Amino acid sequence: MKNTRRTFLKHAGAAGILLTGSSALGRTSKEELWRTDYLSRSESLSPNDTVQFALIGAGGMGTADVLTALQVPGTKIVAACDVYDGRLKAAREQWGKDLFVTRDYKEILGRADIDAVIIATPDHWHKKISVDALLAGKSVYCEKPMVHSVEEGAEVVAAQKKSGKVYQVGSQGLSSLGNEKAKELYESGAIGEINYAEGFWARHDPIGAWQYAIPEDASETTVDWKRYLEPCKSKPAFDSKRVFRWRCYRDYGTGMCGDLFVHLFSSLHFIVSSNGPNKVYASGGLRYWKDGREVPDVLLGVFDYPETPKHKPFNLSLRCNFVDGTSGTTYLRIVGSEGSMDVTWDDVTVYRNISIASNDPFAKLKASEAGLVNTDRKRILPPEKMVYKVQEGYKGAHYDHFFNFFNAIRNKQPVVEDAVFGFRASAPALLCNDSQSENRITRWDPVAMKAL
């Protein structure tokens, strides 16, 4: 069905949209986004429904993942893995002295009491652990990006298909109320047909972008350096920065593209049902954080999306900035033929085009003479702006993403952000790195999921 304003108004009326507020001019409408009580779907959980999981990679993101996952009813952490002993000690202090801890993730995969694993390692380990875990019969929640290079994606997709297990990539915003509402609005024709989208992500940290704290006891005694480097071709001497500030180095991280662009790709692809772009160009450089890192701190990406049965051809521009001291505003904007949407994980703002009568005096005269219109009569205008915000008490996208993951495991259901979806979001982000470093356009087949 063609997305038009008429379709949107028809669906909006049928759904009985509740307007909870308006601006002084009467041209802005608000709606509260809400979700059914989370506990209503888990009140009947029995001890047999508990999903026991392990954490592989117990750094900052991994710890945050576990703290969120444990808020979901019927979950329990039983093991943790990391190459740094200090994190294993901290995991036991936080989640119990009986927690099984190890430097070797394969010891976790061999345990029969573990149903699922959370992979929150540096990016260069994502593919190998994902494949090994799936083939060991474990469901997997893997932090984004799904892979460290485009060449790794097909192996993860094949492993998920072969295992039949749940595999979900951790771009948590995908499960947000903001994304869900934006998808509903787009499909109902709120902004017409997409022709352009743009996204922006800025991050500023007073102690330095990605300059995470390095433990005082970091050494080859407390860190399993050899194991850390196992997937890498390069085997440098021990360097604590490469372990604890790994995002700054290409051998272990994927730069701003893999860290942040992938969130924007995930949201966009979900909202407009896209497989991804077929042409990628990126430009940027290291403008400020000249601390030995190998990746840019300013990056701009431009993408061509081909026509599909789901959408017309359109263009996307993304930008990411680690230099901006004010941080700016993180957003995704989708521009259509009849309006636009600004989308965050917690709210959606729709701006709709207002039809204005022609200012051509000749046309007005002829229409008046023909008795076709009353040129003096004013019109009722629809709202130019509609704001949708999450209801107070919303637990957030991170919680929703884990709720969906564990629910899928219990009910043997698919998830949206599986290996195929995750690869289609990761690949164009990773191709940005190639484009920027090699100063060339990169091409991608979003259906076959192959670099051209």
Q: Tokens for 405?
A: 């993951």
User: Residue 423: which of 179, 157, 162, 173 has the closest Cα?
Assistant: 157
What's phi and psi for 202, nearest 5 deg? -120, 150
Asked whether the beta carbons of 55 and 118 are under 8 A apart, the reply is: yes
> How do residues 90-111 score in pLDDT, each as one tens digit?
999 999 999 999 999 999 999 9
pLDDT class for 450, splitting at 50, 70, 90? very high
Question: Would you say residue 129 has pLDDT above 50?
Answer: yes
Question: Would you say residue 212 has pLDDT above 80?
Answer: yes
pLDDT score recorded for residue 74: 96
Is the pLDDT higher at 20 or at 385?
385
Q: Are domains 5-33+181-227+253-374+384-394+420-451 and 38-173 of this chain identical in fold? A: no
pLDDT score recorded for residue 180: 97
pLDDT score recorded for residue 354: 67
- The residue-averaged pLDDT of 330-359 equals 86
Sheet holding 139-142, edge to edge: 100-102, 75-81, 51-56, 116-119, 139-142, 167-169
pLDDT class for 68, splitting at 50, 70, 90? very high
pLDDT class for 48, splitting at 50, 70, 90? confident
pLDDT score recorded for residue 323: 79
| Strand 75-81 relative to strand 279-285, pairing | unpaired
Q: Which residues pair with 21 in a beta bridge?
A: 30
> How do residues 251-309 score in pLDDT, each as one tens digit?
999 999 999 999 999 999 999 999 999 999 999 999 989 899 999 999 999 999 999 99
pLDDT score recorded for residue 49: 87
Buried b (16+ CB within 10 A) or exposed e, 178-204: bbbbbbbbbbbbbbbbbeebbbbbbbe
> How do residues 225-250 score in pLDDT, each as one tens digit?
999 999 999 999 999 999 999 999 99
pLDDT class for 1, splitting at 50, 70, 90? very low
pLDDT class for 426, splitting at 50, 70, 90? very high
Give one DSSP letter per residue of 325-347, joined into a string.
TT----EEEEEETTEEEEE-SSE
CATH superfamily of the 5-33+181-227+253-374+384-394+420-451 domain: Dihydrodipicolinate Reductase; domain 2 (3.30.360.10)
With a CB cutoff of 8 Å and minimum separation 6, the contacts of 135 are: 159, 162, 163
Asked whether the beta carbons of 449 and 424 are under 8 A apart, the reply is: yes
- The residue-averaged pLDDT of 69-81 equals 98
Indicate the domain borders of the chain: 5-33+181-227+253-374+384-394+420-451, 38-173
CATH fold for domain 38-173: Rossmann fold (3.40.50)
Residue 23 DSSP label: -
Cis peptide before 145 (omega within 30 of 0): yes
Q: How far apart are CA 134 and CA 143, in angstroms?
A: 15
